Amino acid sequence: MPLYEHVYLARQDITTQQVDAITKTIEELIKKEGGKVDRIEYWGLRQLSYKIKKNRKAHYTLMNIDASSEILTEVERQISLNENILRHLTLKVDKFEDKPSIMMEGRNHDSND
């Protein structure tokens, strides 16, 4: 099956538990349809470059997904119905990175200073 990196931005006024619930819902949908989620990274509440629907910040989450394009189409349809998700982006990749993403590396580096 094709490999995808999926990032979504959730509204700033929801809790991290609500973001985890959204992620869990997406993961369950993918697994139910026969795909799998390789890795999930929560990047935290981050500043946006510009306001989106009156939000200055958003919760960022990355998911590495191994699923067919039909499954991904259904996931994106479900995400578009969720009012807590501001934006999402899905990219097809040749392979997943073994190490943490650049966003996580930067976060770990910042906390070590």
Question: pLDDT at position 18, please?
Answer: 94
Which residue type, as a one-letter code, is found at position 12?
Q
What are the start-end ranges of the H helices in 1-113?
Answer: 16-32, 69-81, 102-112
Question: pLDDT at position 47, please?
Answer: 93
Q: How many CB atoms lie within 10 A of CB 84?
A: 16
* 14-23-46 Cα angle (round to 5): 50
Mean pLDDT of each 10-residue bin along the chain, 113 residues long: 90 94 94 91 91 92 91 92 93 79 60 47
All structural domains of the chain, each given as residue ranges with its CATH number in brackets, are: 3-112 (3.30.70.60)
What's this model's pTM, rounded to 2 decimal places?
Answer: 0.82
